[in-house]
Structure 1
Amino acid sequence: MTQTPSASPDPTLAALQRLIDVVAALRSPDGGCPWDLAQTPETLIPYVIEEAYEVVDAIRQGKPEAIADELGDLLLQVVLQAQIASEAQQFSLKDVAEGITQKLIRRHPHVFGEVTVADAGEVVQNWEQIKAQEEKASGIERLTPRLERYGRSLPPLTAALKISQKAAKAGFEWDSIDGVWDKFHEELEEFRQAIAQEPKANQQAELGDLFFTLVNLARWHDLDPAEALHSTNQRFIQRFALVEEAILQESDRPLADYSLEELEALWQTAKARLKQG
């Protein structure tokens, strides 16, 4: 009697299971890797952050192979964290997957329910309302705990934007952009005074206030301050590379031997070259 062949396993699920098995083997007390066995959720924090940023860099470069490679490194961190938690009987990768699946279903009633939406903006609005309802049901009604979470978990510039967005949505907002500009000039003057005559801690605090006000100016103009700074960093590196290239072609003098006027001339030439493409 011929048996009906079973359905072939999904190759994606098979690959994921292979990764899970490999990570479990690395963490096995019987023949596992000493480095992996020594890791804790806390010691892996730098790697989670590093891998996330490397994914972002690969996406910005638009290189599919690099994106796939970096996503693999980030996925490893997810599986490794879940493996360590599973060993401590806290949660498993299954719990992680089920949790995010349920959250997506809850927060997309226009896909998995009867709700209708007009556009992506309404989707975001519904998402925030559902999220607020979930937090209220879990006993989180004040905005402060969410702001604290942003401050702890996000890079400072991104956290500042998120904090200001949430506070503004709750009503903690200027009446007009003029008020934001007035605040900027006020903070700039306070920073100048701190630099001139106050201790380092005060200077640092006033610099932070100035940054936060700049973030609010960006928010009012629908600009992303983190992306803006990233672009500026890249432009600086590109221009600096052209300055170094010009110096190497011109002479054997090190960059430090050039005067400020000479460097400014090279810098302006580099800017013009980049502007011309």
Structure 2
Amino acid sequence: MTDNNSSQLLPALQGLIDVVAKLRDPDGGCPWDLAQTPQSLTPYIVEEAYEAVHAIRSGDRDAIVSELGDLLLQVVLQSQIASEAGQFTIEDVARGISEKLIRRHPHVFGDVTVDGVEDVRANWEEIKAIEKGQKTELLSDKLSSYAEKLPPLTAAMKISKRAAAMGFEWENVEGVWGKFDEELAEFKEALATPDIAHQETELGDLLFTVVNLARWFELDPERGLSGTNQRFIDRIQQMECYIDKPLTEYSIGELETLWQQAKQRLKAGG
């Protein structure tokens, strides 16, 4: 970073901090911001994170800047509220993550030698376990952390990867396909019963196996499902562009025809 960039960066960050402090000022601040608590703001952290990911995937420079700004606002706002309560400040947050990065990258900031990404990952996990007072972090603790803190699909992939790295793995992909067939059959059997809890259990088992298949083929299930969601929306949008009455007034046969036409138009470029 050049000195010029540094001279512009710090005032910009301080400006954001000052704006948030003003919004939270009991004397003339914003009633909405003043009414917020760390707990009431947590849904916005998740929402802004997803919107930032969407912008990054789109490649839209302006959208990325805007959404990262919204995400940064949540960090500053949480820190401001904590500062008002005498808990911690934005400086504590920044200092803490800087110190953590330095500790966990001894190959950059120390004299440790690594041979590729896997060594870096192994060092990171070992240092992390030491920080938590454990010689080695228990696998169950790590998997529980994923399940508690991440969206289910993301957690499933991380749980699958970590368990496989510890030896909980099929010998070949045919074993995964066999498990898929087994779980699909059990799901179908569950659907023939009135037990909703059992049906959801078997559905979960089936979805977890699909995630394992994605891992074996080095696919991203989040990106795959996101793409499917968007294609479904695009096709509905195409259908709505060529109809003269609500979709609910078409028969299922007519809807299927419209659907196939929409697919072809999109495939041909809209």
* Both structures adopt the same fold (TM-score exceeding 0.5): yes
Range moving further from structure 2, 78-87 or 262-271: 262-271
Map of 1:26-41 to 2, 5 A cutoff? 26-41=23-38
Letter in 2 for 1:49: V
RMSD: 2.3
Range moving further from structure 2, 198-207 or 106-115: 106-115
Partner Cα distance (1:35, 1:114) in 2: 50
**Is the counterpart of residue 93 in structure 1 residue 90 in structure 2?**
yes
**Structure 1 regions of 5+ residues with no counterpart?**
1-6
Partner Cα distance (1:216, 1:101) in 2: 35
Residue in 2 that maps onto 1:48: 45
Partner Cα distance (2:122, 2:61) in 1: 32
Residue in 2 that maps onto 1:211: 207
Partner Cα distance (2:71, 2:9) in 1: 17
Please point out which of 264, 270, 273 is paired with 2:265.
Answer: 273
Partner Cα distance (2:259, 2:20) in 1: 50
Residue in 1 that maps onto 2:194: 198
Residue in 2 that maps onto 1:263: 255
Residue in 2 that maps onto 1:154: 150
Please point out which of 225, 229, 237 is paired with 2:233.
Answer: 237
* 1:12 to partner: Cα distance: 0.9
Please point out which of 147, 159, 164 is paired with 1:163.
Answer: 159
Partner Cα distance (1:42, 1:140) in 2: 32
Letter in 2 for 1:195: L
Residue in 2 that maps onto 1:173: 169
Deviations for 1:130-149, whole angstroms, at most 9, x for unmatched residues?
A: 434444x3577212222222
Q: Secondary structure at the residue paired with 2:75?
A: helix
Please point out which of 8, 11, 14 is paired with 2:8.
Answer: 11
Equivalent pairs, count: 266
Map of 1:135-150 to 2, 5 A cutoff? 135=132, 137=133, 141-150=137-146
Partner Cα distance (1:124, 1:161) in 2: 17
* 1:207 to partner: Cα distance: 1.0
Letter in 1 for 2:54: D
Partner Cα distance (2:245, 2:257) in 1: 16
Residue in 2 that maps onto 1:187: 183
Please point out which of 128, 131, 150 is paired with 1:131.
Answer: 128
Identity across matched positions, percent: 62
Letter in 2 for 1:274: L
Instruction: Give TM-score, length-normalised by structure 1.
Output: 0.87
* 1:172 to partner: Cα distance: 1.7
Please point out which of 187, 207, 219 is paired with 1:223.
Answer: 219
Instruction: Give TM-score, length-normalised by structure 2.
Output: 0.89
Letter in 2 for 1:270: A
* 1:188 to partner: Cα distance: 0.9
Partner Cα distance (1:229, 1:256) in 2: 26
Range moving further from structure 2, 110-119 or 174-183: 110-119
Partner Cα distance (1:275, 1:224) in 2: 23
Partner Cα distance (2:189, 2:258) in 1: 34
Question: Larger C-alpha radius of gyration, 1 or 2?
Answer: 1
